Structure 1
Amino acid sequence: MTLGKWLSLFALVASVYILWQIRRIVFLFLAAVVIATALNRLVRRFRRSHVKREYAVLLSMTIVFSLLGTVIVLLLIRLVDQFDQLLSLIPISIDQIETWSYELQARMPENMLTNLPNLPNLAQQLQTAANWIIINIYFIFSNSLTLILNIVFILVLTIMLLANPQKYRRALIAMFPSFYRQRADEIFCKCEVKLVHYVAGVLLSMFFVGITSTIGLFLLQIPLPVVNGLLAGLAAFIPYIGAIASAIPPILLAILDEPWKAGATLLLYLAIQQVEGNIIRPSIIKHQVDLFPAITLALLITFGAFFGFLGLLLGLPILIVAQIWVEEAIVHDVLDHWRTP
């Protein structure tokens, strides 16, 4: 290899290392980009009424954060108390499952036990899953200073991006070769449309899942329906993983109350997820990006393992943008026009 190639390889490795070291800042910036992309549609609506851009940005941010602030204030006092109850009841529920499993094994013939799964091991797996949920909830809300700083950082970046998005867009497009800049701008437009529809669809899906879960748990008389409904709504932001994680706490609480309610709770969550996944979200997101479920789940888990909670939150938007670029830039612009000599 020539000296130039060695220097290029070194620069590539150094760039990857630096990006890895600042990965949290990179993901916070990506979160600001997604939020700014969605809010920019609202800003454009105000601009059509001949409102100056700075006032349009201020109005958009005020409307969104006023709605969020109102919801948080209305629910905060009750949720704090219910979260404490939830965290204290989950270990009791798991202990009850383990006790029932030992009693069941003591009453069953030995020849039947060999063909059944290890029930105490099931309790340990539930304990592991519950610990993962509790640790992540605690991690998000316990370090208040870090959470506040991250929110402020995202808020400032969002405002800066909204103030003059075309400036940042032109700077990004300028990084492409001159012959491809117009095409790159078209692909960015497609990414913007997909992200806006994705954010709108996810927010409405979260609202649907949260409300229906709360009502269903209330009708089943499961303890702490409001906090469990809120968890289900928030978890709907993360496909597949969120649905599984949000179902565990109410099922454990149902077992502690009456065992038959656990099955009813599971059926309730399955029905809500089916309606949300097959009816609500497809009707909202009319311009969908078809992602393979198995690959999407595997990549989301990978994002979560490498980048933590932010990786889970931003994994799907990143996959959507990546798929659009692969389909447009590689498949459509290169492979579809490839001709053998």
Structure 2
Amino acid sequence: MKFSQWIGFFILAFCVYLLWKIRQLLLLLFTAVIIANFLNHGVQLLQKLRIKRSYAVLLSMVFLLTIVCGFFWLIIPPFAQQLPQLLKLVPLGLEQLIITIKDFILRLDPELINALPNSQQMIQQLQPLIEKIAGQGLSVFYTTLGIPLTFLLLFALTLMLLANPRAYRQGFIRLFPSFYRKKIDYVLTECDRSLQGGLTTILFQMVMISLLSFIGLSMLRMPLTLAQAMLAGILTFIPNLGPLLSLIPPVAIALLENPWQSITVFILYVTFYIIISIIESKLLTPLFIENKQSMLPAVTLLSQVFFASLFGVLGFFLALPLALVSQVWLKEVLVKDILDQWQKKGTQLNQ
């Protein structure tokens, strides 16, 4: 390698090291980009109604703040009151579930029961991993800036990106060589479409799961209905694992009430997910989502593990948008522009 190539290599290695050290702040910036990108579609709709962009941005931010304030004013207080009781009842229900499973296994094979770990052993094995992931993901909040300043920074970044997204987009594109900037612009457009489709779908599922859970659990006269419904909706944001985790609180509490009621709750939630999946695939996707990017379940699961180990708990919750964006970049840059071209060059050499 020439001296100039070595210099370029060391500069690239230093940039990668620097990005790694500030990865939590980059994740915060990525979150602001997602929110601004989502709001920008609303701004564009308002602009089609001949409203100036500055006023459209202001209306979008007011709308977002209204939703957030209304959520914290109407939903959070009763949810906060029910959450401590929920956290007490769920472990009791899980203990009852473990006892039921052990009784069932004991009837099948008494020797197999000794090989199963108890709840304390499982907690001891998972505790170091959970503490590591939580510490990595939340360090930016309680060490770098603090929670209030972090949310204030997130709001400011979102507003700045939303006010003039084209300038920031062009600035990012100019970081690449001139011959590749057109392709980067196309990749960013595909990322926008992928995020719009994925986030619209997941938000629809969250709202529907929360609403249907509240109605279904109220009909069954389950305790802590609001807290369970809200928790189920929040966990739905996590692909694959979220729907499974959202089943645990209602089934565990129903098991304390009546074993048959837990089966009813399980069937109820499975029915919810089937109905929502049908509505989403047959109605929502054809009407509102173009070029939806689908991901294989195994790829989604591996991306959750990867981003959780890399960014901590925030990476785990943001695994879906991170995976959607990464999928587009890998497909367009790595596969099409490197691997596919590599194959063509190898074929030419063999000829």
Q: How far off its partner does 1:292 sit?
A: 1.4
Matched, 1:237 2:228: no
Greater relative CO (CA pairs within 8 A, separation 6+): 2
Query: What one-letter code is carried by the residue in structure 2 that aligns with 1:303?
Result: F
Q: What's the secondary structure of 1:329's corresponding residue?
A: helix
Match of 2:295 in 1: 291
Query: What one-letter code is carried by the residue in structure 2 that aligns with 1:304?
Result: A
Q: Distance in 1 between matches of 2:340 and 2:282?
A: 29
Query: What one-letter code is carried by the residue in structure 2 that aligns with 1:67?
Result: I
Matched, 1:114 2:118: no
Change in 2 beyond 3 A, CA 1:265/1:188: same
Change in 2 beyond 3 A, CA 1:115/1:258: same
Query: C-alpha offsets along residues 219-243 of structure 1, whole Å, 9 cap, x if unaligned?
Result: 2333212111101111111111211
Matched, 1:328 2:325: no
How do residues 166-205 of structure 1 correspond to structure 2 at under 5 angstroms?
A: 166-205=166-205
How do residues 1-341 of structure 1 correspond to structure 2 at under 5 angstroms?
A: 3-97=3-97, 104=103, 112-115=109-112, 121=118, 125=122, 146-280=146-280, 283-285=283-285, 286=289, 287-336=291-340, 338-339=344-345, 340-341=347-348
Q: Distance in 1 between matches of 2:318 and 2:37?
A: 14
Query: What one-letter code is carried by the residue in structure 2 that aligns with 1:270?
Result: V
Query: What one-letter code is carried by the residue in structure 2 that aligns with 1:84?
Result: P
Query: What one-letter code is carried by the residue in structure 1 that aligns with 2:109?
Result: M
Q: Distance in 2 between matches of 1:124 and 1:261?
A: 29
Structure 2 portions without partners, runs of 5+: none
TM normalised by structure 2 equals 0.82
Q: How far off its partner does 1:128 sit?
A: 7.7
Q: How far off its partner does 1:108 sit?
A: 5.2
Change in 2 beyond 3 A, CA 1:283/1:130: farther
CA RMSD after TM alignment:
3.3
Query: What one-letter code is carried by the residue in structure 1 that aligns with 2:15?
Result: S
Change in 2 beyond 3 A, CA 1:91/1:50: same
Query: What one-letter code is carried by the residue in structure 2 that aligns with 1:308?
Result: G
Q: Distance in 1 between matches of 2:98 and 2:331?
A: 50
Q: Distance in 2 between matches of 1:114 and 1:284?
A: 51
Q: How far off its partner does 1:58 sit?
A: 0.7
Query: C-alpha offsets along residues 290-332 of structure 1, whole Å, 9 cap, x if unaligned?
Result: 2111011111122112212210222221221222223233444
8 A contact 2:193–2:292 mirrored in 1: no
Q: Distance in 2 between matches of 1:259 and 1:249?
A: 14
Q: Distance in 1 between matches of 2:51 and 2:301?
A: 43
Query: What one-letter code is carried by the residue in structure 1 that aligns with 2:51?
Result: V
Q: What's the secondary structure of 2:315's corresponding residue?
A: helix
Identity of aligned residues (%): 33
Query: C-alpha offsets along residues 136-156 of structure 1, whole Å, 9 cap, x if unaligned?
Result: 7xx98x97x944333222111
Change in 2 beyond 3 A, CA 1:230/1:117: farther
How many residues align? The count is 333
Q: Distance in 2 between matches of 1:58 and 1:242?
A: 34
Query: What one-letter code is carried by the residue in structure 2 that aligns with 1:243?
Result: P
Change in 2 beyond 3 A, CA 1:130/1:244: farther
Change in 2 beyond 3 A, CA 1:324/1:170: same
Q: Distance in 2 between matches of 1:94 and 1:330?
A: 45
Q: What's the secondary structure of 1:114's corresponding residue?
A: helix
Change in 2 beyond 3 A, CA 1:221/1:126: farther
Q: How far off its partner does 1:289 sit?
A: 0.8
TM normalised by structure 1 equals 0.84
Query: What one-letter code is carried by the residue in structure 1 that aligns with 2:259?
Result: P
8 A contact 2:82–2:227 mirrored in 1: yes
8 A contact 1:32–1:154 mirrored in 2: yes
Q: How far off its partner does 1:39 sit?
A: 0.6
8 A contact 2:32–2:158 mirrored in 1: yes
Structure 1 portions without partners, runs of 5+: none
8 A contact 1:300–1:311 mirrored in 2: yes
Q: Distance in 2 between matches of 1:189 and 1:81?
A: 43
